[in-house]
A and B are shown apart, each in its own frame.
Chain A
Amino acid sequence: NAGVTQTPKFQVLKTGQSMTLQCAQDMNHNSMYWYRQDPGMGLRLIYYSASEGTTDKGEVPNGYNVSRLNKREFSLRLESAAPSQTSVYFCASRAGLAGGYEQFFGPGTRLTVL
Chain B
Amino acid sequence: AQTVTQSQPEMSVQEAETVTLSCTYDTSENNYYLFWYKQPPSRQMILVIRQEAYKQQNATENRFSVNFQKAAKSFSLKISDSQLGDTAMYFCAFMNLNAGNMLTFGGGTRLMVKP
Contacts and interface: CB of A to CB of B under 8 A. Distances in A.
Interface stretch (B39-47, B62-70, B72-80): B39-47
Chain A at the B interface: SS class: strand
Nearest to B45: A105
A83 B48 CA distance: 33
Interface in A75-114: 88, 90, 92, 94, 100-103, 105, 107-108
B100 A42 contact: no
B40 to A, nearest CB: 12
A56 interface: yes
A44 B50 contact: no
Given A41-B107, A42-B91, A42-B108, A107 B101 contact: no
Contact of A102 (B4, B42, B50): B50
A33 B105 contact: no
Interface residues of B, number: 22
B102 A88 contact: no
A42 B45 CA distance: 11
A43 B44 contact: no
Contacts of A40: 107-108
17 contacts: A31-B100, A33-B102, A40-B108, A41-B107, A41-B108, A42-B93, A42-B108, A45-B103, A48-B100, A48-B102, A50-B100, A59-B104, A92-B45, A100-B50, A102-B35, A107-B42, A108-B43
